[in-house]
Structure 1
């Protein structure tokens, strides 16, 4: 039989797209946007007149302009991609020359790590731990950099914790890179940046701090539209931007013009839509905070800065290894799911809890089922 190399490892996070449960707290996004919500004011007629031709490789000019405006950059700095995953893959492919190194924060969305392994980059993990509030340790990062480091890959807010990088931390990272690997890029996945809780302002994008910073994101999380498979990558480095455009042309040629038309409509109506979504996230976060406080004898958490997700940990003095396994089994028996820490390279007692997808009554029911599972497993 022919040998098929294992370029992409298996991870059970794939069950999020293949195996449904009644109460899914493993998901990291807000409520799904419905087409009917954006078909008002003649949008259906616009789609009827849309020619199903190739789109521009760098993406719809109008869409890139709106994305750029929300990041404080020029439209020419933006390339649309097939979700943020295409951006992550193309960056890895372009920078992944033989012997090239990359430092990536852990825990991490597993696909962001997998693309680096797939192109055979020399991957070194930067641990960010629950006990440290998932904060970045700049001195620890410095010890991992080498002159062959071509990329530092981080997320802000982080998946799975929802913890955001500070400007001081980013400037510290850039100073270390300037000292040790001045030709490297800093990739920051900002997919959850605008998913703030309530009426507060979103943190400014980090991409404007330095020309070495590359930002990527998508419509999947904050905007509730993972089904349109549209994202973007932003870089102010002309050479990297050109390579990204060539790479996109040689893989997908362009995005779907239908998807980009829907994405444009979302961006044109984004502020009122995000107000409602942010209030929903704030209500979900408040319920989650109350739940953790009520069960503080069994669990603890790191409060997220933004996003529809957070990390919760089973207390070591209550749950041994066997009890952790029992907990997940009890959840499964109750048609409820959380994201195990193993998905993200975190410790087994940690799990990702998504509080944004479900309606508030369903979230209350799901949290109640977690409470039952905790009592049964402890």
Structure 2
């Protein structure tokens, strides 16, 4: 195994996330306090919390947690779920297990870097599937078919997408899944923003539900707004594959934190409450953000995302997006993510974009500081 390259986005966050005064590019929804979350607990979960001991947990995850996760998938049960210490560990385990140097993978671009970097590390070859800005960041089905090879083993897609906020058209998504199933290709679907769509009619089915070769990735961090729990999972009907990933997890986290498992179970059983609240917050913040961009149409071009809590805005200034984002954080304390952090080794990514987030409270103060910077 060779050394992995720097994770550009996380390295940038390491420098600025907790130093910048206005975090305007967060990729998670607003979190809740312990008291607020525990108030949502039923009697069984409250008793588990109060009687909790701090020993090791099961590598697969606790039975109540896996049962709560499986309840969110039609036709699956707890045996079809493997939990991880966040989505990042799940991506790492899955691609290490699924790919070898004899294999080919397809990964959507732009993307969350680890999905691409680990595919490049594990597979013999990787092809990017472009999300086209000119078509609302949609993938092209003919391009997908052209990218397929006899040794394609994994297709990794992310919808609602980070950083663009696009949701794939249902017919395209279904067609890709059907081709994967027909050819025995693992369809690795990153669904961490599912539940934050602007229109429920856009919500895609979960890959593990309808695709025999589908793997559904999800986490408590994004749509639920609970990243501090560090609980993610993969749902999949291939239990032998899950078992292989569980063996790989023995070399990583081994097991989850037991307090986090109880709290995640509470949150999942109160999913409607949390997701309804976060969708409303995103809707309200998007209205504020849209008004801000409209007021500064000479500087920015903005397409409202279809899902998730991030979007990929275009900067029109002559100084370039990298200089603009650097000046914003250094001089005004406003943190955005410039396009360079989403560079791909597979395909070009537009260099005039930046990621902005709208899932958290406090957006008005950030927009005021941002606007003040522009007015100087």
Using the size of structure 2 for normalisation, the TM-score is 0.88
Do residues 13 (structure 1) and 24 (structure 2) align?
Answer: no
Q: 2:55 matched to which residue of 1?
A: 53
- 2:346 alignment partner in structure 1: none
Displacement of 1:203: 4.5
Residue pair 1:104, 1:123 contacting (<8 A) in 2 also:
yes
Residue pair 1:198, 1:281 contacting (<8 A) in 2 also: no
Structure 1 equivalent of residue 33 of structure 2: 34
Q: 1:199-255, CA deviations, whole angstroms, 9 ceiling, x for partnerless residues? A: 889554233221111110100111111111101101112332222222223433322
Match for residue 134 of structure 2 among 110, 131, 134: 131
Is the 1:8–1:115 Cα contact (8 Å) retained in structure 2?
Answer: no
Is 2:181–2:211's contact at 8 Å kept on the other side of the alignment? no
Q: Secondary structure at the match of 1:123?
A: strand
Pairing of 1:345-364 with structure 2 (within 5 A): 345=343, 346-357=349-360, 359=361, 362-364=362-364
In the TM superposition, 1:138-153 aligns within 5 A as 138-153=141-156
Q: Distance in 1 between matches of 2:38 and 2:116?
A: 37
Structure 1 residue 10: Cα displacement: 4.1
State the secondary structure of the residue aligned to 1:128. Answer: strand
Residue matched to 1:245? 246
Structure 1 distance, partners of 2:114, 2:342, is 9
| RMSD over equivalenced CA pairs, Å | 2.5
- In the TM superposition, 1:59-138 aligns within 5 A as 59-72=61-74, 73-138=76-141
Report if aligned partners of 2:181, 2:212 keep a CA contact under 8 Å in 1: no
**1:99-132 CA distance string (max 9 Å, x none):** 2111101110112222223335422212213222
| TM-score, with structure 1 as normaliser | 0.88
How many residue pairs align between the two structures? 364
SS at match of 1:365: helix
- Structure 2 gap ranges (5+): 344-348
Unaligned runs of 5+ in 1: none
* CA offset digits 1:36-87 (Å, max 9, x no partner): 2123368776434212233222212221122112121222211111111111
Q: Distance in 1 between matches of 2:48 and 2:240?
A: 36
Aligned equivalent of 2:340, options 332, 339, 342: 342
Is contact 1:60-1:260 (8 Å) kept? yes
The offset of 1:365, in angstroms, is 3.0
CA drift of 1:177 comes to: 3.9
1:171 alignment partner, SS class: helix
Please give the per-residue CA displacement for 1:298-340, whole angstroms capped at 9, x wherever unaligned.
321232121111111023xxx33x3434422331211001111
Q: Distance in 1 between matches of 2:4 and 2:11?
A: 16
For 1:25, the equivalent position in structure 2 comes to 24
Query: For residues 118 and 227 of structure 1, what CA distance do their matches in structure 2 show?
Result: 28
How far the C-alpha of 1:23 sits from its partner, in A, is 0.6
Secondary structure of 1:234 counterpart:
strand
Counterpart contact for 1:103–1:123, Cα < 8 Å: yes
C-alpha distance in 2, partners of 1:168/1:152?
17
Matches of 2:334 and 2:281, distance apart in 1: 21
